[in-house]
């Protein structure tokens, strides 16, 4: 099969390439967030409490800003970048967040430090406050339970690798993911109840798994969205979302499960795992929120969008750089951060109300979006799709269901008129191989998904 790579534009007019297949190979775990430069970019979702927006920045500061006016109330300096969404103890009013200096901080309502707790490595996880405990993960591989009042360790649970996921507490259980490829369920004493194995790491971009009516929903860098029984850890269903993994956790309600994929697609599934529609974001997505009958999501081109519940774009607001975190809502306004070093407040119709700039207005440099993947050229012919699908299912035979049960078809496709440049706009066939050697054939160039054969036709 011959492909046109546009070599003529580079002086290779007579150069024809005979290629039978391309293979996208995952080379390493996702470490893009650990290899950023200096600057004042905002990467995490802010936290809103009592009319104050709390957020961290790569300049090492945690900020408190008046949510109505954008006026700074205080800032607190750490010795590392802050990739963590703060949490609040509503009884004491203390604010908790993690830093790349390895510390979990407790800050009082006036911006003074109450205590700090040292872990063994960077903290990208966001804290969860439950009762008298603050739970947080660290890149030393441990989930820590720390006393909220005094900052003393209560217990720790060791996993096999970094923890880039944030913990969720529900019905007396703690749920979180690790770079070792497992989602864990612990009791409140830190004892393991069950674990569920994925194909590769969970990099949750400071977010936690989602719980809805006894079902735990989470996404992994193996490019699947999972639904698991929260009591038993048994898989209910899974859905494929592309080839470059998932770094954002889903949004779940009674109507659907929204999963942003690193392939630049926002997928809407029903709660049985059947695709309802999709929206082409153009490139890497940010956190997704549904508020008052509208869907809000940013992307790596710096566009913050409002969509209908049917996946149609209603408006877009352009910032100066990437958007990674999700929004919060306050008195008819939407507040979110951008990689351009600003915290924005815009109206529900997309008009700017105010912006707040961090101490360093220089956006942080970041490695390419897909440098954990490599495109390899092979001369061997394509294998039968169904055989490869069956092989993947056999490798996962320890789970309660086979992948072949999740054949999802959709007649719906949504794209945006708010065009952005994709990091991976291509027109050739590629095959994905993850660390578990799943082989997933894809083509790009149109808009219809056919998961029976795992072929993506993407605009």
Say what the pLDDT of residue 374 is. Answer: 65
Per-residue pLDDT of the chain (459 residues; tens, 9 = 90+): 333 333 333 343 444 444 456 666 766 677 766 777 789 999 999 999 999 999 999 999 999 999 999 999 999 999 999 999 999 999 999 999 999 999 999 999 999 999 999 999 999 999 999 999 999 999 999 999 999 999 999 999 999 999 989 999 999 999 999 999 999 999 999 999 999 998 888 887 778 999 999 999 999 999 999 999 999 999 999 999 988 889 899 999 999 999 999 999 999 999 999 999 999 999 999 999 999 999 999 999 999 999 999 999 999 999 999 999 999 999 999 999 999 999 999 999 999 999 999 999 999 877 776 666 666 776 554 444 444 434 444 344 343 333 333 333 333 444 444 443 433 333 333 333 333 333 333 333 333 333 333 333 333
Closest CA to 20 of 367, 336, 353, 430: 430
From residue 34, alpha-carbon distances to 12, 322, 364 in Å are 38, 17, 12
Which residues fall within 8 angstroms of residue 447, CB to CB, at 6 or more apart? 280, 413, 415, 457, 458, 459
Grouping H, G, I as helix, E, B as strand and the rest as coil, residue 306 is: strand
For residues 100 and 81, what is the distance between their CA atoms, to the nearest angstrom?
A: 5
Distance CA 115, CA 129 (A): 15
Size (the chain), residues: 459
CB neighbour list of residue 2: distance below 8 Å, 6 or more residues apart: 16, 17, 18, 19
User: Which two three-digit tokens encode residue 409?
Assistant: 């078809």
C-alpha distances (whole Å) from 97 to each of 110, 180, 285, 385 are: 15, 23, 23, 46
Q: Outline where 48-166 has alpha helix (H).
A: none
Q: Residue 372: its pLDDT value, please?
A: 66
Q: Are residues 196 and 235 in contact, defined by beta-carbon separation less than 8 angstroms?
A: yes
pLDDT at 200: 87
Q: What is the pLDDT of residue 151?
A: 98
Locate the DSSP E strands across 31-170: 47-49, 52-56, 61-66, 72-77, 87-88, 95-98, 103-107, 113-118, 128-130, 133-137, 142-147, 153-158, 168-170
CATH of domain 83-208: 2.40.128.630
C-alpha dihedral, 340 to 345 to 346 to 347, nearest 10°: 170
The DSSP secondary-structure symbol of 141 reads S
Which residue ranges make up each domain of the chain?
2-29+370-456, 83-208
> Which tokens belong to 435?
């660390």
Residue 271: closest CA among 248, 245, 239, 295 = 239
CB 237 within 8 A of CB 272: yes
Residue linked to tokens 């003529």: 8
- Which pLDDT value is given to residue 1? 36
Give CA–CA dist 59/211, Å, rounded.
Answer: 33
**447 close to 459: Cβ distance less than 8 angstroms:** yes
Please state, in angstroms and rounded to a whole number, the distance separating the CA atoms of residues 61 and 276. 41
> From residue 193, how far is each of 172, 397, 422 by CA, in Å?
11, 21, 42
Q: How far apart are CA 252 and CA 69, in angstroms?
A: 31
Determine the distance from the C-alpha atom of residue 249 to the mean position of all C-alpha atoms in its chain, rounded to a whole number. Answer: 5
pTM of the predicted model, to two decimals?
0.77
Give the residue among 421, 432, 423 at the shortest CA–CA distance from 456: 432
């Amino acid at each position: 099969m011959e492909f046109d790579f546009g070599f003529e534009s580079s002086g290779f007019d007579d150069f024809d390439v005979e290629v039978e297949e391309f293979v996208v190979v995952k080379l390493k775990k996702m470490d893009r967030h650990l290899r950023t430069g200096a600057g004042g970019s905002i990467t995490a979702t802010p936290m809103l409490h009592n009319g104050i927006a709390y957020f961290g920045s790569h300049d090492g500061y945690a900020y408190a800003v008046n949510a109505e006016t954008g006026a700074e109330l205080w800032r607190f300096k750490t010795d590392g970048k802050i990739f963590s969404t703060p949490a609040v103890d509503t009884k004491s009013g203390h604010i908790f967040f993690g830093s790349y200096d390895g510390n979990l901080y407790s800050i009082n309502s006036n911006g003074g430090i109450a205590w700090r707790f040292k872990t063994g490595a960077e903290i990208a996880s966001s804290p969860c406050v439950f009762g008298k405990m603050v739970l947080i993960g660290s890149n030393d591989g441990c989930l820590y339970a720390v006393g909220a009042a005094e900052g003393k360790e209560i217990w720790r649970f060791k996993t096999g690798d970094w923890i880039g996921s944030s913990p969720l507490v529900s019905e007396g259980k703690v749920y979180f993911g690790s770079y070792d490829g497992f989602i864990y369920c612990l009791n409140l004493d830190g004892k393991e109840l069950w674990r569920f194995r994925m194909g590769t790491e969970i990099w949750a971009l400071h977010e936690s798994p989602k719980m809805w009516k006894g079902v735990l929903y989470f996404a992994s860098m193996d490019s699947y969205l999972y639904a698991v029984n929260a009591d038993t850890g048994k898989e209910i269903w899974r859905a494929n979302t592309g080839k470059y993994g998932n770094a954002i956790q889903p949004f779940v309600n009674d109507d659907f499960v929204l999963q942003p994929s690193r392939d630049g697609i926002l997928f809407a599934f029903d709660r049985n795992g059947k695709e309802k529609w999709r929206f082409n974001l153009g490139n890497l997505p940010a956190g997704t929120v549904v508020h008052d009958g509208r869907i809000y999501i940013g992307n790596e081109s710096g566009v913050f969008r409002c969509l209908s519940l049917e996946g149609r774009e209603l408006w877009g607001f352009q910032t100066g750089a990437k958007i990674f975190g999700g929004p919060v809502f306050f008195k008819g306004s939407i507040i979110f951060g951008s990689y351009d070093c600003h915290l924005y407040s815009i109206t529900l119709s997309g008009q700017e109300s105010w912006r707040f700039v961090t101490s360093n207005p220089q956006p942080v440099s970041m490695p390419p979006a897909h440098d954990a993947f490599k495109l390899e050229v092979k001369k061997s012919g394509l294998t039968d799709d169904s055989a490869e699908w069956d092989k993947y299912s056999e490798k996962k035979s320890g789970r309660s269901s086979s992948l072949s049960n999740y054949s999802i078809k959709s007649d719906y496709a949504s794209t945006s008129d708010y065009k952005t440049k994709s990091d991976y706009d291509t027109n050739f066939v590629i095959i994905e191989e993850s660390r578990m050697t799943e082989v997933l054939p894809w083509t790009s160039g149109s808009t219809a998904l056919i998961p029976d054969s795992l072929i993506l036709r993407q605009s």
